[in-house]
Amino acid sequence: METKALWEKLINKLKKEKLIDQDIIEEYIVTSELIKISNTEFIILVRSNLGVTILNEFKEVFIYEFKSVLSSYVSVEFSTKEIFEKNTKKENKKEPANTVLPENALTFENFIVGSSNKQANLAAKNVVANPGMSFNPLFIYGDSGLGKTHLLQAVKNQAELNGKKVLYLTSEEFTKRIVNALNKGDLSEIEELKTEINSNEFFILDDVQFLSKKDKTNEFFFNIINNFTENGKQLVFSSDKTPELLNGFDKRMITRFNSGLSTPINALDIPTAKLIIEAEIKKQGLKQKITEDAVIYLAQNFSDDVRKIKGLVNRLLFFGIQNDLGHIIDLEDVIDLFKDTPSANLGLLNVKKIKEVVAKKYDVTIKAIDGKARTTAIKNARHLSMYFAKIILNHTSTQIGAEFGGRDHSTVLSAISRIEKLIYKEKEFKKIVESLKNEIIGK
Protein backbone atom coordinates (compact mmCIF):
# COMPACT_ATOMS: atom_id res chain seq x y z
CA MET A 1 0.00 0.00 0.00
CA GLU A 2 1.29 3.45 -0.89
CA THR A 3 2.26 5.61 2.08
CA LYS A 4 -0.24 8.35 1.19
CA ALA A 5 -3.10 5.86 0.86
CA LEU A 6 -2.06 4.18 4.14
CA TRP A 7 -2.06 7.53 5.96
CA GLU A 8 -5.52 8.44 4.64
CA LYS A 9 -6.89 5.06 5.68
CA LEU A 10 -5.44 5.44 9.17
CA ILE A 11 -6.93 8.93 9.59
CA ASN A 12 -10.36 7.67 8.49
CA LYS A 13 -10.15 4.79 10.99
CA LEU A 14 -9.17 7.19 13.79
CA LYS A 15 -12.09 9.47 12.99
CA LYS A 16 -14.53 6.54 12.80
CA GLU A 17 -13.40 4.71 15.96
CA LYS A 18 -13.18 7.91 18.07
CA LEU A 19 -10.24 6.67 20.15
CA ILE A 20 -8.72 10.15 19.93
CA ASP A 21 -10.58 13.42 20.43
CA GLN A 22 -11.76 14.83 17.06
CA ASP A 23 -10.20 18.25 17.76
CA ILE A 24 -6.79 16.60 18.20
CA ILE A 25 -7.28 14.62 14.97
CA GLU A 26 -8.10 17.77 12.98
CA GLU A 27 -5.46 19.99 14.61
CA TYR A 28 -2.49 17.63 14.84
CA ILE A 29 -3.06 14.42 12.81
CA VAL A 30 -4.75 15.57 9.60
CA THR A 31 -2.07 18.24 9.22
CA SER A 32 0.78 15.71 9.74
CA GLU A 33 2.69 13.65 7.20
CA LEU A 34 3.50 9.93 7.28
CA ILE A 35 7.06 8.90 6.37
CA LYS A 36 7.88 5.26 5.71
CA ILE A 37 11.39 4.31 6.81
CA SER A 38 10.96 0.56 6.22
CA ASN A 39 8.17 -2.02 6.22
CA THR A 40 8.21 -1.97 10.02
CA GLU A 41 9.29 1.63 10.77
CA PHE A 42 7.26 4.82 10.33
CA ILE A 43 7.72 8.45 11.39
CA ILE A 44 4.82 10.89 11.64
CA LEU A 45 5.94 14.46 11.00
CA VAL A 46 3.92 16.89 13.12
CA ARG A 47 3.82 20.65 12.63
CA SER A 48 4.91 21.62 16.16
CA ASN A 49 6.75 20.33 19.24
CA LEU A 50 3.50 20.63 21.17
CA GLY A 51 1.86 18.35 18.62
CA VAL A 52 4.68 15.80 19.04
CA THR A 53 4.16 15.82 22.81
CA ILE A 54 0.38 15.40 22.50
CA LEU A 55 0.49 12.59 19.92
CA ASN A 56 3.10 10.68 21.92
CA GLU A 57 0.33 10.16 24.50
CA PHE A 58 -1.58 8.15 21.88
CA LYS A 59 1.32 6.07 20.55
CA GLU A 60 -0.31 2.78 21.55
CA VAL A 61 -3.44 3.75 19.61
CA PHE A 62 -1.35 4.40 16.47
CA ILE A 63 0.50 1.07 16.85
CA TYR A 64 -2.84 -0.73 17.23
CA GLU A 65 -4.28 0.97 14.13
CA PHE A 66 -1.19 0.23 12.04
CA LYS A 67 -1.43 -3.45 13.04
CA SER A 68 -5.12 -3.58 12.11
CA VAL A 69 -4.28 -2.28 8.61
CA LEU A 70 -0.92 -3.98 7.95
CA SER A 71 -1.46 -7.15 10.04
CA SER A 72 1.92 -6.69 11.74
CA TYR A 73 3.48 -4.62 14.51
CA VAL A 74 5.46 -1.57 13.47
CA SER A 75 7.63 1.07 15.10
CA VAL A 76 6.03 4.52 15.22
CA GLU A 77 7.84 7.76 16.06
CA PHE A 78 6.67 11.39 16.12
CA SER A 79 8.89 14.28 15.09
CA THR A 80 8.79 17.75 13.60
CA LYS A 81 9.93 18.17 10.03
CA GLU A 82 12.88 20.31 11.14
CA ILE A 83 14.20 17.70 13.58
CA PHE A 84 13.65 14.87 11.10
CA GLU A 85 15.57 16.67 8.35
CA LYS A 86 18.36 17.60 10.75
CA ASN A 87 18.75 13.96 11.87
CA THR A 88 18.60 12.76 8.27
CA LYS A 89 21.50 15.05 7.37
CA LYS A 90 23.47 13.68 10.32
CA GLU A 91 22.84 10.12 9.15
CA ASN A 92 23.95 10.94 5.61
CA LYS A 93 27.21 12.42 6.89
CA LYS A 94 28.08 9.34 8.95
CA GLU A 95 30.86 7.07 7.77
CA PRO A 96 29.69 3.67 6.55
CA ALA A 97 29.59 1.02 9.28
CA ASN A 98 32.87 -0.75 9.86
CA THR A 99 32.37 -4.50 9.62
CA VAL A 100 35.85 -5.24 10.95
CA LEU A 101 36.35 -4.86 14.71
CA PRO A 102 39.56 -3.42 16.20
CA GLU A 103 42.08 -5.98 17.42
CA ASN A 104 41.44 -5.13 21.09
CA ALA A 105 37.62 -5.13 20.79
CA LEU A 106 35.66 -6.84 23.57
CA THR A 107 33.77 -9.74 22.00
CA PHE A 108 32.08 -13.01 22.89
CA GLU A 109 35.12 -14.80 21.47
CA ASN A 110 37.54 -13.27 23.99
CA PHE A 111 35.15 -13.43 26.96
CA ILE A 112 36.30 -16.26 29.24
CA VAL A 113 33.29 -18.35 30.23
CA GLY A 114 33.07 -20.27 33.52
CA SER A 115 30.46 -21.35 36.03
CA SER A 116 30.34 -17.84 37.52
CA ASN A 117 29.27 -16.11 34.29
CA LYS A 118 27.93 -18.72 31.84
CA GLN A 119 24.27 -17.74 32.39
CA ALA A 120 24.92 -14.07 31.66
CA ASN A 121 27.02 -14.99 28.62
CA LEU A 122 24.28 -17.24 27.22
CA ALA A 123 21.60 -14.57 27.80
CA ALA A 124 23.73 -11.90 26.09
CA LYS A 125 24.25 -14.12 23.03
CA ASN A 126 20.52 -14.84 22.95
CA VAL A 127 19.48 -11.18 22.75
CA VAL A 128 21.89 -10.60 19.87
CA ALA A 129 20.43 -13.56 18.01
CA ASN A 130 16.79 -12.72 18.90
CA PRO A 131 16.58 -8.97 19.64
CA GLY A 132 13.41 -7.61 21.23
CA MET A 133 11.99 -11.04 22.05
CA SER A 134 11.53 -12.59 25.52
CA PHE A 135 14.66 -11.23 27.24
CA ASN A 136 13.80 -7.55 27.01
CA PRO A 137 15.29 -5.81 28.85
CA LEU A 138 18.28 -7.99 29.63
CA PHE A 139 19.53 -6.88 33.06
CA ILE A 140 23.01 -8.14 34.02
CA TYR A 141 24.11 -7.51 37.62
CA GLY A 142 27.17 -8.22 39.74
CA ASP A 143 30.12 -6.63 41.56
CA SER A 144 32.62 -4.40 39.80
CA GLY A 145 35.37 -6.07 37.80
CA LEU A 146 33.60 -9.33 36.95
CA GLY A 147 32.97 -8.74 33.23
CA LYS A 148 29.63 -6.92 32.91
CA THR A 149 31.07 -4.21 30.67
CA HIS A 150 32.83 -6.81 28.53
CA LEU A 151 29.52 -8.59 27.90
CA LEU A 152 27.70 -5.34 27.08
CA GLN A 153 30.45 -4.38 24.65
CA ALA A 154 30.28 -7.86 23.13
CA VAL A 155 26.55 -7.40 22.56
CA LYS A 156 27.22 -4.02 20.93
CA ASN A 157 29.97 -5.29 18.66
CA GLN A 158 28.16 -8.43 17.53
CA ALA A 159 24.87 -6.59 16.95
CA GLU A 160 26.67 -4.02 14.78
CA LEU A 161 28.35 -6.82 12.83
CA ASN A 162 24.84 -8.18 12.27
CA GLY A 163 23.86 -4.86 10.70
CA LYS A 164 21.89 -3.50 13.66
CA LYS A 165 21.92 0.13 14.74
CA VAL A 166 23.24 0.24 18.31
CA LEU A 167 23.66 2.96 20.94
CA TYR A 168 25.96 2.13 23.86
CA LEU A 169 26.26 4.64 26.71
CA THR A 170 27.53 4.69 30.26
CA SER A 171 25.06 6.12 32.78
CA GLU A 172 27.33 9.17 33.10
CA GLU A 173 27.23 9.82 29.34
CA PHE A 174 23.45 9.28 29.27
CA THR A 175 22.87 11.75 32.14
CA LYS A 176 25.19 14.34 30.61
CA ARG A 177 23.33 14.29 27.30
CA ILE A 178 19.96 14.73 29.00
CA VAL A 179 21.20 17.55 31.27
CA ASN A 180 22.74 19.37 28.29
CA ALA A 181 19.44 19.18 26.40
CA LEU A 182 17.46 20.37 29.44
CA ASN A 183 19.84 23.25 30.10
CA LYS A 184 19.21 24.64 26.62
CA GLY A 185 15.61 25.19 27.72
CA ASP A 186 14.24 24.21 24.33
CA LEU A 187 11.68 21.41 24.08
CA SER A 188 12.94 20.59 20.60
CA GLU A 189 16.36 19.63 22.03
CA ILE A 190 14.75 16.99 24.28
CA GLU A 191 12.58 15.71 21.44
CA GLU A 192 15.60 15.56 19.14
CA LEU A 193 17.56 13.53 21.71
CA LYS A 194 14.59 11.23 22.24
CA THR A 195 14.20 10.70 18.50
CA GLU A 196 17.94 10.03 18.12
CA ILE A 197 17.97 7.37 20.86
CA ASN A 198 14.70 5.78 19.74
CA SER A 199 16.01 5.43 16.18
CA ASN A 200 18.33 2.64 17.35
CA GLU A 201 17.55 -1.07 17.39
CA PHE A 202 19.66 -1.71 20.50
CA PHE A 203 20.05 0.62 23.49
CA ILE A 204 22.77 -0.54 25.90
CA LEU A 205 23.26 1.31 29.20
CA ASP A 206 26.13 0.46 31.56
CA ASP A 207 25.90 0.96 35.38
CA VAL A 208 22.25 2.04 35.68
CA GLN A 209 22.65 2.25 39.49
CA PHE A 210 24.22 5.68 39.00
CA LEU A 211 20.88 7.02 37.68
CA SER A 212 19.49 6.65 41.20
CA LYS A 213 17.51 9.68 42.49
CA LYS A 214 17.84 11.54 39.17
CA ASP A 215 14.13 12.22 38.64
CA LYS A 216 14.27 14.14 35.36
CA THR A 217 16.75 11.71 33.85
CA ASN A 218 14.64 8.74 34.95
CA GLU A 219 11.47 10.25 33.47
CA PHE A 220 13.29 10.48 30.13
CA PHE A 221 14.74 6.99 30.66
CA PHE A 222 11.31 5.52 31.36
CA ASN A 223 10.02 6.97 28.09
CA ILE A 224 12.92 5.35 26.21
CA ILE A 225 12.27 1.97 27.87
CA ASN A 226 8.60 2.13 26.90
CA ASN A 227 9.43 2.99 23.30
CA PHE A 228 11.91 0.14 22.89
CA THR A 229 9.74 -2.52 24.51
CA GLU A 230 6.60 -1.44 22.64
CA ASN A 231 8.42 -1.53 19.31
CA GLY A 232 10.28 -4.81 19.82
CA LYS A 233 13.73 -3.23 20.06
CA GLN A 234 16.36 -4.55 22.45
CA LEU A 235 17.39 -3.03 25.79
CA VAL A 236 20.47 -4.23 27.70
CA PHE A 237 21.40 -2.84 31.14
CA SER A 238 24.07 -3.54 33.75
CA SER A 239 24.11 -2.79 37.46
CA ASP A 240 26.04 -3.68 40.59
CA LYS A 241 22.79 -4.91 42.23
CA THR A 242 19.73 -6.91 41.33
CA PRO A 243 16.77 -4.64 40.41
CA GLU A 244 15.01 -5.27 43.74
CA LEU A 245 17.98 -3.89 45.69
CA LEU A 246 18.33 -0.67 43.68
CA ASN A 247 17.47 2.39 45.72
CA GLY A 248 16.36 5.75 44.33
CA PHE A 249 14.17 4.39 41.51
CA ASP A 250 10.38 4.49 41.60
CA LYS A 251 8.42 1.24 41.57
CA ARG A 252 7.42 1.42 37.90
CA MET A 253 11.11 1.59 36.87
CA ILE A 254 11.99 -1.47 38.97
CA THR A 255 9.02 -3.27 37.38
CA ARG A 256 10.38 -2.42 33.93
CA PHE A 257 13.86 -3.72 34.85
CA ASN A 258 12.25 -6.98 36.01
CA SER A 259 9.97 -7.39 33.01
CA GLY A 260 12.63 -9.13 30.91
CA LEU A 261 15.47 -11.27 32.29
CA SER A 262 17.72 -10.46 35.27
CA THR A 263 20.86 -12.61 35.42
CA PRO A 264 23.96 -12.37 37.62
CA ILE A 265 27.67 -12.47 37.06
CA ASN A 266 28.99 -14.01 40.26
CA ALA A 267 32.40 -13.79 41.89
CA LEU A 268 35.09 -15.59 39.92
CA ASP A 269 35.56 -19.24 40.74
CA ILE A 270 39.09 -20.63 40.73
CA PRO A 271 38.94 -22.48 37.36
CA THR A 272 37.57 -19.40 35.59
CA ALA A 273 40.14 -17.15 37.25
CA LYS A 274 42.88 -19.55 36.10
CA LEU A 275 41.61 -19.42 32.50
CA ILE A 276 41.50 -15.61 32.59
CA ILE A 277 45.06 -15.41 33.95
CA GLU A 278 46.31 -17.74 31.22
CA ALA A 279 44.47 -15.76 28.54
CA GLU A 280 45.86 -12.46 29.85
CA ILE A 281 49.41 -13.89 29.99
CA LYS A 282 49.06 -14.92 26.35
CA LYS A 283 47.54 -11.58 25.35
CA GLN A 284 50.25 -9.51 27.05
CA GLY A 285 53.03 -11.70 25.70
CA LEU A 286 54.92 -12.94 28.75
CA LYS A 287 58.23 -14.20 27.33
CA GLN A 288 59.03 -16.72 30.07
CA LYS A 289 57.17 -19.94 30.79
CA ILE A 290 55.18 -20.09 34.03
CA THR A 291 54.41 -23.29 35.91
CA GLU A 292 50.80 -24.41 36.38
CA ASP A 293 51.01 -24.44 40.18
CA ALA A 294 52.17 -20.80 40.06
CA VAL A 295 49.10 -19.85 37.98
CA ILE A 296 46.83 -21.82 40.34
CA TYR A 297 48.32 -19.99 43.31
CA LEU A 298 47.55 -16.62 41.71
CA ALA A 299 44.01 -17.75 40.89
CA GLN A 300 43.42 -18.97 44.44
CA ASN A 301 44.74 -15.93 46.22
CA PHE A 302 44.51 -12.76 44.11
CA SER A 303 41.90 -13.18 41.39
CA ASP A 304 38.75 -11.67 42.87
CA ASP A 305 38.22 -9.47 39.80
CA VAL A 306 39.38 -9.19 36.20
CA ARG A 307 41.03 -5.78 36.65
CA LYS A 308 43.22 -7.14 39.43
CA ILE A 309 44.23 -10.03 37.16
CA LYS A 310 45.47 -7.55 34.54
CA GLY A 311 47.57 -5.89 37.25
CA LEU A 312 48.99 -9.26 38.35
CA VAL A 313 50.08 -10.08 34.81
CA ASN A 314 51.68 -6.65 34.44
CA ARG A 315 53.83 -7.43 37.47
CA LEU A 316 54.73 -10.80 35.97
CA LEU A 317 55.77 -9.03 32.76
CA PHE A 318 58.00 -6.62 34.70
CA PHE A 319 59.47 -9.56 36.62
CA GLY A 320 60.13 -11.28 33.29
CA ILE A 321 62.02 -8.26 31.96
CA GLN A 322 64.45 -8.60 34.88
CA ASN A 323 65.16 -12.28 34.18
CA ASP A 324 66.57 -14.37 31.36
CA LEU A 325 64.19 -15.72 28.73
CA GLY A 326 65.10 -19.24 29.83
CA HIS A 327 63.99 -18.61 33.42
CA ILE A 328 60.81 -20.53 34.28
CA ILE A 329 58.57 -18.58 36.67
CA ASP A 330 57.62 -21.04 39.40
CA LEU A 331 55.56 -21.08 42.58
CA GLU A 332 58.35 -19.73 44.76
CA ASP A 333 58.81 -16.80 42.36
CA VAL A 334 55.16 -15.73 42.50
CA ILE A 335 54.87 -16.21 46.26
CA ASP A 336 57.88 -13.95 46.74
CA LEU A 337 56.71 -11.49 44.05
CA PHE A 338 53.24 -11.07 45.57
CA LYS A 339 54.08 -11.52 49.26
CA ASP A 340 53.05 -7.92 50.04
CA THR A 341 49.85 -8.06 47.96
CA PRO A 342 46.63 -8.46 50.01
CA SER A 343 45.03 -11.76 49.10
CA ALA A 344 41.45 -11.99 47.93
CA ASN A 345 38.81 -13.52 50.17
CA LEU A 346 37.92 -16.51 48.03
CA GLY A 347 36.24 -18.46 50.80
CA LEU A 348 37.50 -21.97 51.51
CA LEU A 349 40.14 -21.88 48.74
CA ASN A 350 42.44 -19.60 50.65
CA VAL A 351 45.49 -20.45 52.78
CA LYS A 352 45.21 -17.12 54.55
CA LYS A 353 41.76 -18.02 55.86
CA ILE A 354 43.06 -21.35 57.16
CA LYS A 355 45.88 -19.60 59.01
CA GLU A 356 43.50 -16.99 60.45
CA VAL A 357 41.08 -19.60 61.83
CA VAL A 358 43.82 -21.82 63.29
CA ALA A 359 45.82 -18.88 64.68
CA LYS A 360 42.75 -17.61 66.52
CA LYS A 361 42.14 -21.06 68.06
CA TYR A 362 45.71 -21.35 69.36
CA ASP A 363 46.06 -17.65 70.24
CA VAL A 364 49.09 -17.10 68.02
CA THR A 365 49.78 -14.80 65.05
CA ILE A 366 49.95 -15.69 61.37
CA LYS A 367 53.49 -14.32 61.40
CA ALA A 368 54.39 -16.84 64.08
CA ILE A 369 52.90 -19.71 62.05
CA ASP A 370 55.11 -18.73 59.11
CA GLY A 371 58.12 -18.12 61.36
CA LYS A 372 60.69 -20.40 63.03
CA ALA A 373 59.42 -20.46 66.64
CA ARG A 374 58.65 -23.97 67.91
CA THR A 375 56.59 -23.55 71.07
CA THR A 376 53.86 -26.20 71.40
CA ALA A 377 51.00 -23.81 70.48
CA ILE A 378 52.82 -22.39 67.45
CA LYS A 379 53.95 -25.83 66.24
CA ASN A 380 50.43 -27.25 66.56
CA ALA A 381 48.95 -24.25 64.72
CA ARG A 382 51.57 -24.48 61.96
CA HIS A 383 51.22 -28.23 61.43
CA LEU A 384 47.42 -28.13 61.55
CA SER A 385 47.34 -25.26 59.01
CA MET A 386 49.56 -27.31 56.70
CA TYR A 387 47.25 -30.30 57.16
CA PHE A 388 44.18 -28.23 56.22
CA ALA A 389 45.99 -26.79 53.19
CA LYS A 390 46.46 -30.37 52.03
CA ILE A 391 43.02 -31.88 52.73
CA ILE A 392 40.87 -28.81 51.95
CA LEU A 393 42.83 -27.09 49.18
CA ASN A 394 44.61 -30.16 47.82
CA HIS A 395 47.87 -28.19 47.59
CA THR A 396 51.09 -30.04 46.91
CA SER A 397 53.71 -30.37 49.65
CA THR A 398 56.02 -28.09 47.65
CA GLN A 399 53.29 -25.46 47.35
CA ILE A 400 52.44 -25.71 51.06
CA GLY A 401 56.10 -25.34 52.00
CA ALA A 402 56.33 -22.15 49.95
CA GLU A 403 53.14 -20.83 51.59
CA PHE A 404 54.51 -21.45 55.11
CA GLY A 405 57.74 -19.51 55.16
CA GLY A 406 59.61 -21.42 52.44
CA ARG A 407 59.81 -24.77 54.20
CA ASP A 408 61.11 -27.96 52.55
CA HIS A 409 58.48 -30.35 51.21
CA SER A 410 59.77 -33.11 53.53
CA THR A 411 59.06 -30.86 56.52
CA VAL A 412 55.50 -30.42 55.28
CA LEU A 413 54.99 -34.16 54.86
CA SER A 414 56.29 -34.75 58.38
CA ALA A 415 53.92 -32.10 59.82
CA ILE A 416 50.88 -33.57 58.03
CA SER A 417 51.82 -37.09 59.16
CA ARG A 418 52.07 -35.87 62.78
CA ILE A 419 48.56 -34.35 62.63
CA GLU A 420 47.11 -37.54 61.11
CA LYS A 421 48.58 -39.61 63.97
CA LEU A 422 47.18 -37.22 66.61
CA ILE A 423 43.71 -37.39 65.03
CA TYR A 424 43.88 -41.20 65.17
CA LYS A 425 45.12 -41.39 68.76
CA GLU A 426 43.35 -38.48 70.53
CA LYS A 427 39.55 -38.13 70.35
CA GLU A 428 39.53 -34.61 71.79
CA PHE A 429 42.06 -33.44 69.22
CA LYS A 430 39.95 -35.04 66.49
CA LYS A 431 36.94 -32.98 67.67
CA ILE A 432 39.05 -29.81 67.56
CA VAL A 433 40.16 -30.59 63.99
CA GLU A 434 36.57 -31.24 62.83
CA SER A 435 35.34 -28.02 64.46
CA LEU A 436 38.09 -25.94 62.84
CA LYS A 437 37.53 -27.59 59.46
CA ASN A 438 33.81 -26.74 59.57
CA GLU A 439 34.65 -23.14 60.47
CA ILE A 440 37.10 -22.86 57.57
CA ILE A 441 34.69 -24.21 54.96
CA GLY A 442 31.78 -22.21 56.36
CA LYS A 443 29.55 -25.00 57.68
Q: Which domains does the chain have, with CATH numbers?
A: 3-93 (3.30.300.180), 118-264 (3.40.50.300), 270-337 (1.10.8), 351-441 (1.10.1750.10)
The one-letter amino acid at 99 = T
When pLDDT is averaged across residues 15-21 and rounded to a whole number, the result is 87
When pLDDT is averaged across residues 79-103 and rounded to a whole number, the result is 67
Q: What is the pLDDT of residue 334?
A: 85
Angle at 71 between CA 65 and CA 76, to 5 degrees: 50
421 pLDDT tier (thresholds 50, 70, 90): very high
- CA dihedral 68→72→73→74, nearest 10 degrees, is -100
Share of the chain above pLDDT 90, in %: 30
Window from 73-87, 122-136, 333-347, 366-380 with minimum mean pLDDT: 333-347
Q: What is the pLDDT of residue 266?
A: 84
346 pLDDT tier (thresholds 50, 70, 90): very low
How far, rounded to the nearest angstrom, does the alpha carbon of residue 132 sit from its chain's CA centroid?
19
When pLDDT is averaged across residues 100-107 and rounded to a whole number, the result is 76
Calpha distance 193→191 (Å, rounded): 5
Say how many CA atoms lie within 13 Å of 399 toward its Cβ.
Answer: 19
343 pLDDT tier (thresholds 50, 70, 90): low
Pairing verdict, β 234-239 and 33-38: unpaired
Window from 3-17, 34-48, 63-77, 208-222 with minimum mean pLDDT: 63-77
Q: 173: how many CB neighbours lie within 10 A of its CB?
A: 12
Calpha distance 296→301 (Å, rounded): 9
The answer to the question of whether 149 is labelled as a binding residue is yes
The answer to the question of whether 147 is labelled as a binding residue is yes
Residues 163 and 197: beta-carbon distance below 8 Å? no
Per residue in 176-193, pLDDT tens? 888 888 887 767 788 888
Provide CB contacts within 8 A for 37, sequence distance 6+.
Answer: 43
Taking Cα atoms as reference points, which of 135, 147, 148 lies closest to residue 206? 148
Task: Using DSSP, state whether 47 is helix, strand or coil.
Answer: coil
When pLDDT is averaged across residues 136-145 and rounded to a whole number, the result is 89
Q: 302: how many CB neighbours lie within 10 A of its CB?
A: 21
Q: What is the pLDDT of residue 96?
A: 45
Q: Where are the beta strands (DSSP E) in 274-346?
A: none
Q: 138: how many CB neighbours lie within 10 A of its CB?
A: 26
239 pLDDT tier (thresholds 50, 70, 90): very high
The answer to the question of whether 232 is labelled as a binding residue is no
- CA dihedral 334→336→339→340, nearest 10 degrees, is -110
